[in-house]
Amino acid sequence: NAGVTQTPKFRVLKTGQSMTLLCAQDMNHEYMYWYRQDPGMGLRLIHYSVGEGTTAKGEVPDGYNVSRLKKQNFLLGLESAAPSQTSVYFCASSYASARGVTEAFFGQGTRLTVV
């Protein structure tokens, strides 16, 4: 019962480097999300996907790109990391039921530091 798995758990990047965060879910959920968590800001939505092959911008999309080539995976890319992207990143997934979209299930987070 893995649920939502994020890799890596920790990463330190230098300004200008690129990286990809991987999110994998084994619950066959249609919806997947990337959030960032910053002190005093709560969680803010970066990008989301309502199904395989679809992505959309959230509240704070600048500097990030995403891809959902497979239903179970949702990748978050940073093309040129900046110190402002130092944060904890959470992936989540949910599914549609007869009563609407269900609650979200979260991964354990990726702590990214950009120096």
Partner 1 sequence: GNSVTQMEGPVTLSEEAFLTINCTYTATGYPSLFWYVQYPEEGLQLLLKATKADDKGSNKGFEATYRKETTSFHLEKGSVQVSDSAVYFCALRGSQGNLIFGKGTKLSVKP
Q: Which residues contact 52 (CB under 8 A, 6 or more apart)?
A: 68, 69, 70, 71
Question: To the nearest whole angstrom, how small is the minimum distance from the Cβ of residue 15 to partner 1?
Answer: 26
Question: To the nearest whole angstrom, how small is the minimum distance from the Cβ of residue 70 to partner 1?
Answer: 19
Q: Which residues contact 26 (CB under 8 A, 6 or more apart)?
A: 2, 3, 5, 72
Q: Which is nearer to partner 1, 54 or 80 (CB)?
A: 54
Question: To the nearest whole angstrom, how small is the minimum distance from the Cβ of residue 16 to partner 1?
Answer: 29
The binding site for partner 1 (CB under 8 A) comprises 4, 31, 33, 40-45, 48, 50, 56, 58, 90, 92, 94, 96, 99-101, 103-109
Q: How many CB atoms lie within 10 A of CB 3?
A: 13
